[in-house]
Structure 1
Amino acid sequence: MPADGARKVSRVVLLDPRDRILLLHGFEPGDPANDWWFTPGGGVEGAETRAEAALRELAEETGITEVELGPVLWQRYCAFPFDGRRWEQDEWYFLARTTRTATETTGFTELERRTVTGARWWTSEELLSARETVYPTRLAGLLRTLLDDGPPGAPVVLAPEIV
């Protein structure tokens, strides 16, 4: 997995008591029709650990702080254009559970305020039948495996996604 120069990112696979996953809905600032769903998360800042970044980003993007942070499920390298620049990311996906399902966006950055339109809890079945774009692209199958088999013994390295 390429790491040199890639932004270190922590993402959260947040599940509620009904095993629904929380996804955020966003779009390309210059083309609102180019939209997708994605897990909460973002870049590691300063000396914080990946786990600390996951919890901070989750709080900023959803207002949810009452979580039980679990293991790293997946790791992924991705590269994509967004907001006029090219992003390269080394992403770690943490499992987390919460009983709180209400979200708030008061911690959004300026860019998130411009490009994130909402949040939704998805069942595995809804995600498997979704026609919308979801990142990572294999999330529906990965979630189903997680719910059926539990967390992997070691993080699964996903195929890189280059857009």
Structure 2
Amino acid sequence: MTERGTDPQTTGAGGTRRVARVVLLDPDDRILLMHGHEPDDPADTWWFTPGGGLEGEETREQAALRELAEETGITDVELGPVLWKRYCSFPFDGRRWDQDEWYYLARTRGTGPVPGPQALTELETRSLAGLRWWTSAELSAARETVYPTRLAELLHRLLDEGPPSAPVVLAPEIV
């Protein structure tokens, strides 16, 4: 689930967790972000895109759609191309998480309230504070922590130029 944590899932070489994330845009080009926090410190917060680790033999596309449905209740989406790829490593819930993340573009026709989480793990329940649609301008002006850290710039470029012809490899983020 969270940018900085979730239950362990299928990992690749070296224990790196394979993750699918969703850059979900509504018809007004707002992006849906989740608000997370350290389970034992609700003051340590950040915003991030929906997504999480692959389960079993599922593909990243399947994981992206499953995680989006579980974390937001949104199922009526058109999954697009992989926009960005990145490696990140961070502490969360008393351990270090190493992740290989792929960010998929997705569109929804809905503009109303998000249905909300449908199937959270115990750790996700303890670390998720909510969901919110953000305009590009709101994201650019945000003083809160957002992952990936260049998301405002990346979203602005996506909205101006459209999806890249091939996934952009982002600089690793080690926290």
Alpha-carbon distance in 2 for matches of 1:148, 1:94: 17
User: Residue 26 of structure 1 aligns with which residue?
Assistant: 36
Alpha-carbon distance in 1 for matches of 2:22, 2:160: 19
Q: Structure 1 stretches of 5 or more lacking a match?
A: none
User: Once the 2 structures are TM-superposed, how far is the Cα of residue 110 of structure 1 from its aligned partner?
Assistant: 1.1
Alpha-carbon distance in 2 for matches of 1:160, 1:3: 17
User: Residue 133 of structure 2 aligns with which residue?
Assistant: 121
Match of 1:39 among 43, 46, 49: 49
User: Residue 62 of structure 2 aligns with which residue?
Assistant: 52
Regions of 4+ moved over 4 Å: none
Match of 1:151 among 163, 167, 171: 163
Give the number of equivalent residue pairs.
162
The one-letter amino acid of 1:13's match is V
Q: 1:75 to 1:3 in 2, by over 3 A?
A: farther
Match of 1:160 among 163, 169, 172: 172
User: Once the 2 structures are TM-superposed, how far is the Cα of residue 3 of structure 1 from its aligned partner?
Assistant: 5.5
Q: In percent, how many aligned pairs have the same letter?
A: 73
User: Residue 106 of structure 1 aligns with which residue?
Assistant: 118
Describe the SS at the equivalent of 2:164: coil
Alpha-carbon distance in 1 for matches of 2:49, 2:137: 17
Q: Structure 2 stretches of 5 or more lacking a match?
A: 1-11
User: Once the 2 structures are TM-superposed, how far is the Cα of residue 4 of structure 1 from its aligned partner?
Assistant: 3.2
Match of 1:142 among 142, 154, 160: 154
User: Residue 4 of structure 2 aligns with which residue?
Assistant: none
Alpha-carbon distance in 1 for matches of 2:169, 2:29: 23
Describe the SS at the equivalent of 2:157: helix
The one-letter amino acid of 1:32's match is P
The one-letter amino acid of 1:127's match is L
Q: Is the 8 A contact 1:3 1:90 kept in 2?
A: no
Alpha-carbon distance in 1 for matches of 2:106, 2:13: 25
Task: Say whether residues 1:63 and 2:103 are aligned partners.
Answer: no
Alpha-carbon distance in 2 for matches of 1:121, 1:58: 14
TM-score after normalising by structure 1? 0.97
TM-score after normalising by structure 2? 0.90
